[in-house]
Structure 1
Amino acid sequence: MPRMLSTSLERVRMSVSCAEGLGLSPGSPMFRHAMHAVAFLDKEKIALKMEYMKTTFRWSDAEVRIAVCRAPMLLTRSKDMLQRKSEFLMSVVGLEPAYIAHQPVILNLSLEGRLRPRYYVLKFLKEKGLLDRNLGYYTIAKVTEKVFMEKYISPHCEAAPHLAEDYATACRGQVPARFVFA
């Protein structure tokens, strides 16, 4: 964070204090992410964002702390983005608030470019009986694009020849007809 070099020592101390106040110790691997997240936020804005997440995701105080400690950059996300992801993950995908709090990295992933298209693929594969095990949503959301294609698209090219094309269409923000479920 080059901007921190031109920041006053007092501001750096405040950032360290805020990061520690979130429950992260300076030795934690997530501490530098927390420092980045809180570097130019005051304690009031952090408290307001945490309260907003608590309401939006129906989290307890403990769950908000868990989520922020595991993914401090959530503090930098817009309220609109958090709201849209909350609606999608809880109402459409059906994830429980506690599940999201324990896997908060999912909230840093693109809704249109990753979360929604992969949900469509998972639902399609389940409806067609093409999965040999019951996968959790986070399992497919977290993997890289290359791994996703190798594990969940390519093996089904014969049984579902349009799956790769439909997935690519979904990644562009459109919903292919084969991904419309009754």
Structure 2
Amino acid sequence: MFGAKLGHVLEMVACAEGIGVPRSSGMFGHALHAVSCFSEEKITAKVDYLKKTFRWSDAEVGIAVSKGPFMLARSKDMLKRRSDFLISEVGLEPAYIAHRPAMLTYSLEGRLRPRYYVVKFLKENGLLEHGRSYYTTLVETEKVFMKKFICPHKEAAPHLAEDYVAACKGEVPARFRFT
């Protein structure tokens, strides 16, 4: 950015602000980096794609992008697969995702899906209260997740740890198949 012409830098600043990231935001630098890689047309197309894929309003796209400008650099396929999973399978509301765009950074196969299966299994078997937020399970480190969601249920669900490991490898253990 230091080598860029002043006019181009001003365009990047305007673009970052135009997608909803204020200059005062801690994410402004990330937004500048994200918009510097793409033309204005590509950014507009990506914003439109986010609206369509996640069923977001203009305001929700603004919220999501201001909290996670990295989304502009993600592939359409990656975004689509996460949208399909989070909205259709997990049942999250689009606004919920817009306010927590960090969940889009996690691996679908290595984190989002396996942790969802564990939480769903625990809830369906009466081992976890139903009000727990899915997002809180995602942001936990692996060690903390194991401590909070796997280890306390060793007796009631002795195969949970191995099923979770299998799910992290892309398998869907029989106990994680829900009707």
Task: Give the TM-score taking structure 1 as reference length.
Answer: 0.91
Instruction: Give deviations 1:17-40, integer Å, cap 9, x for gaps.
Output: 221222223331111221221121
SS in 1 for 2:23: coil
What per-residue deviation string (whole Å, max 9, x for no partner) do you get for residues 76-113 of structure 1?
A: 11111111111111110011111111111111211111
Pairwise CA RMSD of aligned residues?
A: 1.5
Q: Secondary structure at the match of 1:36?
A: helix
* Aligned equivalent of 1:22: 19
Contact 2:86 2:92 in 1 (8 A): yes
Give the aligned partner of residue 94 of structure 2: 97
Question: How is 1:70-149 mapped onto 2 (pairs within 5 angstroms)?
Answer: 70-132=67-129, 134-149=131-146
Give the Cα–Cα distance (whole angstroms) in 2 for the partners of residues 164 and 103 of structure 1. Answer: 27
Following superposition of structure 1 onto structure 2, how do residues 135-174 of structure 1 map, counting pairs within 5 Å?
Answer: 135-174=132-171
Q: Residue 176 of structure 1: CA displacement?
A: 1.0
Work out the CA distance in 1 between the residues paired with 2:55 and 2:111. Answer: 23
* Alignment partners' CA distance in 1, 2:7 and 2:106: 33
Equivalent position amino acid for 2:122 in 1: L
Within the candidate set 53, 56, 68, 1:56 is matched to: 53
Comparing 126-135 and 85-94, the one that deviates more: 126-135
Structure 2 residue 49 is matched with structure 1 residue 47: no
CA distance in 2, matches of 1:8, 1:165: 56
Q: Does 1:176 align with 2:160?
A: no
Tell me the SS of whatever aligns to 2:178. coil
Displacement of 1:166 in angstroms is: 0.8
Distance 1:113 1:10 in 2: 43
User: How many residue pairs end up in the alignment?
Assistant: 179
**Structure-2 separation of matches of 1:7 and 1:160:** 58
The alignment's TM-score, normalised by the length of structure 2, stands at 0.93
Amino acid of the structure 2 residue aligned with 1:127: E
**Aligned residue type for 2:93:** E
For 2:147, give the aligned amino acid: E
Give the Å deviation of 1:10: 3.9
Q: Could you tell me which amino acid in structure 2 is paired with residue 81 of structure 1?
A: M
* Equivalent-residue separation in structure 2 for 1:133 and 1:170 (angstroms): 22
Structure 1, unpaired ranges of 5+: none
Long gaps (5+) in structure 2: none
SS at match of 2:61: helix
Q: Which digits, 9 at most, give the CA deviation of each residue in 1:119-154, with x for residues without a partner?
A: 000111001111145212112112221211111111
One-letter amino acid of the counterpart of residue 146, structure 2: M
